[in-house]
């Protein structure tokens, strides 16, 4: 009888520790950046909301929304350092923003205050991958899938 209880304990721990990817909200919603939904404006490829966050028809459309948002941070607000970008992306009232900034900068191999050229597809892709990893605890997407999402962002890169 004790082995049976021990087995249940191990299974419970494994289910807690190694959550299936589908249970991660951003992956489940095809919204790896965990972009909030707005009532007045749906994103291209958005098929609904889970109450707070957008649900996209495919991860490519979620990545497209990330790319558009990040490029607009630069173009419209002049935000182009990891510190500036992540402070807006993940405000401190909901996140440990400083830890997020440090994690993304480490992933990119840059200082938090270095300007990033978000018109460069490679740099934008690196930033998107780092955000996906921090938002979801994993970065489960192939390079090809992310490249399709970045292309869908509708920009021509030099």
Q: What is the pLDDT of residues 113-146, one digit of tens each?
A: 999 999 999 999 999 999 999 999 999 999 999 9
CA 73 – CA 14 distance, rounded (Å):
40
Q: Residues with Cβ < 8 Å from 87, sequence gap 6 or more?
A: 97, 101
Burial of 26 (0-12, 13-18, 19+ CB in 10 A): buried
pTM, entire model: 0.84
Name, in order, each residue with C-beta under 8 angstroms of 48's C-beta and a sequence gap of 6 or more.
54, 55
Rounded Cα distance between 28 and 26, Å, is 6
φ/ψ (deg, to 5) at 30: 55, 35
Q: Which helix (H) or strand (E) holds 48?
A: strand 46-49
Per-residue pLDDT averaged across 43-50, rounded? 95
pLDDT at 63: 98
80-93: pLDDT as tens digits: 999 999 999 999 99
């Amino acid at each position: 009888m004790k082995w049976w209880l021990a087995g249940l304990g191990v299974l419970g721990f494994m289910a807690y520790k190694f959550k299936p990817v589908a249970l991660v909200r951003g992956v489940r919603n095809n919204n790896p950046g965990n972009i909030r939904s707005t009532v007045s404006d749906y994103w291209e490829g958005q098929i609904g909301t889970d109450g707070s966050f957008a649900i996209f028809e495919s991860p490519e459309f979620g990545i497209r929304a990330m790319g558009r948002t990040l490029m607009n941070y630069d173009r419209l607000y002049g935000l182009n350092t990891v510190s500036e970008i992540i402070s807006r992306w993940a405000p401190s009232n909901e996140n440990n923003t400083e830890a997020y900034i440090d994690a993304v900068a480490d992933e990119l191999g840059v200082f938090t205050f270095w300007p990033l050229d978000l018109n460069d597809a490679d740099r934008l892709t690196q930033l998107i991958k780092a955000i996906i990893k921090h938002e979801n605890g994993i970065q489960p997407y192939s390079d090809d899938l992310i490249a399709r999402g970045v292309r869908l962002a509708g920009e021509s890169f030099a």
